[in-house]
Structure 1
Amino acid sequence: MEPLLKQRRTNQDIFFSKEDARGVRQPHKDPLVIALTMEGFNTKRILVDNGSSADIMYLLTFQQLKLDPGRLRPFDSPLVSFSGDRIYPKGIVTLKVTIGAYPKQQTHHLDFLVVNCPSSYNVIIGRPTLNRWKAATSTYCLKIKFLTEDGVGAVKGDQVLARECYQAMLAAGENHTWTIEGEKEDNMEALETVELVEGETSKVTRIGTTLSTEMRNKLVHFLKGNLDVFAWSHEDMPGIPRQVIQHELKTDPEKKLIQQRQRVFAPKQNRAITDEVNRLL
């Protein structure tokens, strides 16, 4: 009977109720920040981020846990943030991590990319580990739940610490949603360029390559029949009333305008600035 009992428990549904939100100050927009046991140490300031495709540990945390640098394995792909910042990890390390309290807990050996950059958090738990835990998160309740052999386990977020970390993150302009370069492109559909006006290579658009032949022909015919909605240049958008949208610089007409002196950067910084401007253009 015991194996059946365990099987029945592991098939429990995960759900959140009003009781789960008890003690959470509402309304809020706080992130989910929890504590985990990592390599035997109670580690706080761990951000649970469903948008991150990687599990991250910051180098300072790696050093504070007194982990042997020899445990780091090479990792060649850079990480890219939502804002386009790119950073190469120091390596990848496998750590023993426990979530929850006995008996409703899970223990796994998880892989973390060790990153050397400032952070208000110690660790970021992304989708790889959330999927490994078979976990569900509620930002409203600030709680994470997961399946164990003894039922549904849960860990409550620390709202006070979450607000402190979030304010520090905004003040420092930190990035915390990382993607391994190449993953995003691999998941995107390839596109083909379609010329909407014959002989005018500037008037083109792009459509997906997985469409059926019939659907592709219908879509191209529809796009060509509605050329008037495309704006190929600013001259194609005349007559927008100022009450709809208008851009202006708010300056005090009574104050004298001051031109700032030209700033000089080192050659390495100049190259980085030029590369970023070209990328944005």
Structure 2
Amino acid sequence: MPKIARRESPIIGFPEEDAQHLHHLHNNALVVSIRVGNYNMHRVLVDNGNSADIIYFPAFQQMRVDREWLILTNAPLVGFEGTKVFPLGVVTLLVTVGDYPQQITKDVTFLVVDYSSTYNAILGQPTLNSWKAATSTYHVMIKFPMDYRVGELQGNQVSTPECYISMLEMEDHQQTTCIEGQRTIAEPIEELEEVTLDESRPKRMTRIGTLASQPIRQAFAAFLRMNQDVFEWSHEDMPGIDPSVIVHKLNVNPASSPVRQKKQVFA
């Protein structure tokens, strides 16, 4: 049998030159932009610790993919807290990563999840293993072997903190909603007594507690009346404040006329 030349896979490495244009030190996640079908998808998290490739339902809807493409599945996703999320289904989409000519185009099977997330999709172990890809969070980059060369996909270091802040705000909102649903109205530890500060203006009053004795409450009320100038009921009670403290100014050239920008559509 004639010997067939064996083609060696290119060696993947991350030299220090790949990190020269980044801001250090950083602990940023690996967030990239890819092309899914005919759409450019931003805010895609690359997580080599995730056992599934996920696309979130809002992004799936914006791509206008027919729901008939979804294949039902009963396999749940389990998070860190043990919560189970059941996907809406499985869909296979054509994904392109990298810039020509260092790019690859392959089918990726995503789990479509109807869950709140600041990311549009997550690339996990199945795709990274099928691409034989290597990731480096220090270099914020993915590299994958190609024919006679190594392809690469650079992450977006700017969008990473934006995603993190959006996720924190989303979690705070969810926690507030959960707390408000179970919170009971707290009762005051003591009854409050209204004290009029100015007899000529009966609406200007405050409240003090009633646990103290009557002489102490009278002395406290007299003290508040003597120092009622510390209470401000409207902006008219605060003369002498420089308006520049509360005036917002735009640092623009007054000689330039304003221009209406075209509406920008983001992910």
With the length of structure 2 as denominator, give the TM-score of the two structures.
0.61
Partner of 2:130: 132
Contact 1:103 1:150 (8 Å CA) reproduced: no
Which residue does the alignment assign to 1:7? Answer: 7
Q: Which residue identity lines up with residue 25 of structure 2 in the other structure?
A: P
Q: Does 1:43 align with 2:55?
A: no
Whole-angstrom CA distance in 2 between matches of 1:109 and 1:29: 31
Which residue of 2, 14, 17 corresponds with 2:15?
Answer: 17
Q: Is contact 1:30–1:166 with CA below 8 Å preserved after alignment?
A: no
Q: Partner residue of 2:164?
A: 166
**2:65 is paired with a residue of what secondary structure?**
coil
Counterpart for residue 85 of structure 1: 83
Which residue is equivalent to 1:65?
63
CA positional deviation for 1:82: 1.2
Q: In percent, how many aligned pairs have the same letter?
A: 44
In the alignment, the residues of structure 2 paired with residue 168 and residue 130 of structure 1 have an alpha-carbon distance, to the nearest angstrom, of 26
Distance 2:171 2:50 in 1: 17
Q: Is the contact made by 2:51 and 2:125 (CA closer than 8 Å) also made in structure 1?
A: yes
- Residue 274 of structure 1 corresponds to which residue in structure 2? none
- The separation in 2 between residues aligned to 1:40 and 1:261, in whole angstroms, is 51
Equivalent residue of 2:166, what SS? helix
Cα-to-partner distance string for 1:181-223 (whole Å, 9 max, x where unaligned) = xxxxxxxxxxxxxxxxxxxxxxxxxxxxxxxxxxxxxxxxxxx
Distance in 2 between the 1:133 and 1:166 partners? 27
Question: Residue in 1 aligned with 2:121?
Answer: 123
1:262 to partner: Cα distance: 7.7
Q: Secondary structure at the match of 2:21?
A: coil
The answer (yes or no) to whether the contact 1:7–1:149 under 8 Å persists in 2 is no
Corresponding position of 1:74: 72
Counterpart of 1:152 in structure 2 is 150
Once residues 97 and 148 of structure 2 are traced to their aligned partners in structure 1, the CA distance between those partners, rounded to angstroms, is 14
Question: C-alpha distance in 2, partners of 1:112/1:168?
Answer: 23
- 2:96–2:106 CA contact under 8 A, matched in 1: yes
Shift, 1:261, TM fit: 4.2
C-alpha separation in 1, matches of 2:102 and 2:31: 19
Question: How far 1:86 sits from its partner (Å)?
Answer: 1.1
Aligned to 1:104: 102
1:114 — aligned with what? 112
Question: Within 5 Å, which residues of 2 pair with 1:166-185?
Answer: 166-173=164-171
**Rounded Cα–Cα distance in structure 1 between residues aligned with 2:65 and 2:46:** 22
- Distance in 1, Cα, partners of 2:184 & 2:164: 35
RMSD: 2.0
Matched positions, count:
173
CA distance in 1, matches of 2:81, 2:15: 35
Aligned partners of 1:117 and 1:160: how far apart in 2? Answer: 24
Measure the CA separation in 2 of the matches of 1:169 and 1:76. Answer: 27
Q: Secondary structure at the match of 1:34?
A: strand
Amino acid at match of 1:78: P
Structure 2 match to 1:223: none
